Amino acid sequence: MRGVLVTVEGVEGSGKTTQCVRLAEHLRRSQRQVVHTSEPDGTPLGIAIRSLFEHEGSPPTSLTQTFLFMAARQQHVAEIIRPALARGAVVLSDRYTDATVAYQGYGLGMDLQTIRDLNALATGGLLPDLTLVLDIEPAAGMRRIGGRRLDAFERMDLAFHQRVREGYLEMARAEKNRVVVLRADQAPDALSAEIARAVDERLDRLDR
């Protein structure tokens, strides 16, 4: 059985973390070998890179952010994703290449083609077999997470998060065969069922 890469994307508060855990459990019940990971903190290097965004002082520029996330991504692909795919696993990643396009590109104004070129270099051209975008109005997503300590990106203004959302939706319009958009403002169980159905259908197609 070939390995499969499934990525889950969305704005802050879309429920990605919860739904990734549920999806991993669903796939394991189906006797799939699953590797559940995340970006940028899927490796020790990635964890260290994430911590750089919380330092006091001037925040990294959009280009610096892009380079940092690409470094974390290259390590993630080399250390976690490609070996798991070689073993025939379903790799489930909470964020991947689209996140940098959405956040640093649409959100912060970095040149989109530059990000795509750097993504291709960092991943060796490894694209997801399926990407799920959990879509929610940014204001609603921010209300969901308002009670916790926010990270550097969660503290960005609402206009930034709206641009990120539009970026995800634009990517979905451009890549309909890869990207599936699901409403994240529905009941968690209903969303989990939709996610499981979308992933099962794609896996069945790839297994043929």
For domain 4-207, which CATH number applies: 3.40.1350.10, 3.10.580.10, 3.40.50.1240, 3.40.50.300? 3.40.50.300
Secondary structure, 3-state, 143-155? HHCCCCCCCCCCC
Confidence of residue 54 (pLDDT cuts 50, 70, 90): confident
Strand order of the β-sheet with 179-183 is: 34-38, 90-94, 4-10, 130-135, 179-183
Percent of the chain whose predicted confidence (pLDDT) is above 70:
100
- Mean pLDDT of the 26-42 span: 96
Question: Residue 184 contacts by C-beta under 8 Å, 6 or more apart in sequence?
Answer: 10, 14, 15, 134, 135, 136, 141, 191
Is the separation of the CB atoms in 140 and 15 below 8 Å?
no
Average pLDDT across the chain, whole number: 95
What string of DSSP letters covers 13-71? TS-HHHHHHHHHHHHHHTT--EEEEETTTTSHHHHHHHHHTTSSSSPPPHHHHHHHHHH
Question: Do residues 133 and 179 lie in contact, with contact meaning Cβ atoms separated by under 8 Å?
Answer: yes
Any idea what DSSP says for residue 175? -
In which band, very low, low, confident or very high, does the pLDDT at 140 lie, cut at 50, 70 and 90?
A: very high
Asked if pLDDT for residue 165 goes beyond 90, the answer is yes
Tell me the domain boundaries of the chain: 4-207
Q: How confident is the model at residue 150 (pLDDT cuts 50, 70, 90)?
A: confident
> Residue 57 pLDDT more than 80?
no
Position 1 scores a pLDDT of 66
Is the model's pLDDT at 47 over the cut of 90? yes
pTM to 2 decimals?
0.95
Stretch 61-74: mean pLDDT: 96
Query: If you average pLDDT over residues 182-191, what whole number do you get?
Result: 96
